[in-house]
Structure 1
Amino acid sequence: MQERSIKLGIIVAEFNYDITYLMLQKAISHAKFLGAEIKVVVKVPGTYDIPLIARKLLEKNYIDAIVALGAVIKGETKHDELVANQTARKLVDLSVEYGKPITLGIIGPGATHEQAVERIEEYANRAVEAAVKLVNRIRRINELEELQEMVTID
């Protein structure tokens, strides 16, 4: 069986774009390194807006997984916790609903600007890597289903 390329969609928040722009560049570079194909990059105003676009991309046959990139920086209130927690919860729900990975390359909550800068490459690369690994593992599970008549797994 010939291996199909992994097709990714990237959603990146424009809020804290000094950070997320660099995350986007690292994610694109790492995807190319891993042999994944970036089919679309969508910019949204903020991290909280990622789930809406994620739902739209999950409906597309040309997307195997989504990489969500954002930076939720700690302010004087707990707004960062609300944004990060609600976004993460909805992304997990969408991933399970559609059966396609959405990986969390979102820095925060509770991160300072300096901490976010230190995590740019790590979060971007890990999110892309997780997307590629999950698509490959889902494909293997699907292949096992096709072979189930011939194979019994105890």
Structure 2
Amino acid sequence: MVNLGFVIAEFNRDLTYMMEKLAEEHAQFLGANVVCKVMVPGSFDMPLAIKTLLKKDNIDAVVTIGCVIEGDTEHDEIVVQNAARKIADLSLEFEKPVALGISGPGMTRMQAEDRIDYGKSAVEAAVKMVKRINDIKNSN
């Protein structure tokens, strides 16, 4: 069984709540365990929580859940680009999957509502990657 940690942004919580619930349901459907959930203020704040979870022996992968909606400036792009880069760096550093379930940047609130399945997709990616990395490690 795959053990997942969730890192969930509180910003736009009405949307990340729906993303979280779909992600939990999909994890259960796939036979994965959500062993830990960490709430962070926003997507930009995720890397430290991700790193802390990746250090735990009982976490096979981390799923990020966040929603960054376009504003009047390019702030949304900066947030998502930096979060995504650091998330990828942490995955490589700890050799564990970290799935990107952050919707945005450059989307309206209506588009964000249409993309609440990003958390579900991130769970799918995390579980697949754990299994595939284990297959590689166990192959001759």
TM range (shorter): over 0.9
Measure the CA separation in 2 of the matches of 1:111 and 1:105: 15
Measure the CA separation in 2 of the matches of 1:111 and 1:104: 16
Structure 2: which 5+ residue stretches go unaligned? none
- Secondary structure at the aligned position of 2:96 is classed as coil
State which of 63, 66, 71 in structure 2 corresponds to 1:67. 63
The code of the aligned residue for 2:63 comes to: V
Q: How does 1:1-154 map to 2 (within 5 A)?
A: 5-121=1-117, 123-144=118-139, 148=140
The ranges of structure 1 where at least 4 consecutive aligned residues each deviate by more than 2 angstroms after the TM superposition are none
Structure 1: which 5+ residue stretches go unaligned? 149-154
Measure the CA separation in 2 of the matches of 1:71 and 1:23: 9
Q: Which has the larger radius of gyration?
A: 1
TM-score scaled to structure 2, two decimals? Answer: 0.99
- For residues 5-29 of structure 1, give each alpha carbon's deviation from its aligned partner in whole angstroms, at most 9, with x where no partner exists: 1000000000000100110001000
Number of residue pairs aligned between Structure 1 and Structure 2: 140
Measure the CA separation in 2 of the matches of 1:75 and 1:62: 38
Measure the CA separation in 2 of the matches of 1:87 and 1:141: 28
The code of the aligned residue for 1:124 comes to: G
Deviation at 1:31, TM superposition (A): 0.1
Measure the CA separation in 2 of the matches of 1:125 and 1:27: 4
Identity of matched residues, %: 51
Measure the CA separation in 2 of the matches of 1:18 and 1:125: 16
Give the aligned partner of residue 151 of structure 1.
none
- Secondary structure at the aligned position of 1:73 is classed as coil
Deviation at 1:124, TM superposition (A): 1.4
TM-score scaled to structure 1, two decimals? Answer: 0.90
Measure the CA separation in 2 of the matches of 1:113 and 1:62: 36
